[in-house]
Amino acid sequence: MDKQTLMLELKGLSRVVSGDVQHLVYKRQAVNDLADSYEPINPFGEMVHGIETDLIHAIDRSIHNNLSREEGNAFAAQWYQMSAYQQMRYLEDYVQGRLQ
């Protein structure tokens, strides 16, 4: 387990990555795979953007619903140091079990 995962896990990562978050991560990955095969005109770009927006909101809700205020603040402080791209890649790797 890398340092970033360890620190996020100590701050409640496994409680933040709820079933809803996992579902959206899988959905994003599936639509992203479809989008990769449609070039130069990509009909899935807007759909991927919408799923990413839903995923960001799901993470925020999960932080609020599953962590105490102090835990949520500590988790969010570290989480939001990453770019949106890094967050999406991180969630994909975490859900797929590649960060163990």
**pLDDT for residue 100:** 65
Largest CA distance in the chain: 46
pLDDT along the chain (100 residues), means of 10: 87 94 96 83 87 96 96 94 93 87
Distance in angstroms (rounded) separating the CA atoms of residues 69 and 74: 9
Query: pLDDT at position 35, please?
Result: 85
* Cis geometry, peptide bond prior to residue 40 (ω within 30 degrees of 0): yes
Residue for token digits 């953007």?
A: 49
The domain spans of the chain are 14-95
Q: For residue 36, which amino acid is it?
A: D
This prediction has a pTM of 0.86
Distance CA 48, CA 78 (A): 25
> What is the structure's pLDDT at 77?
94
What local confidence, expressed as pLDDT, does residue 80 receive? Answer: 94
Q: Determine the Cα–Cα distance for residues 43 and 8; give it in Å rounded to an integer.
A: 35
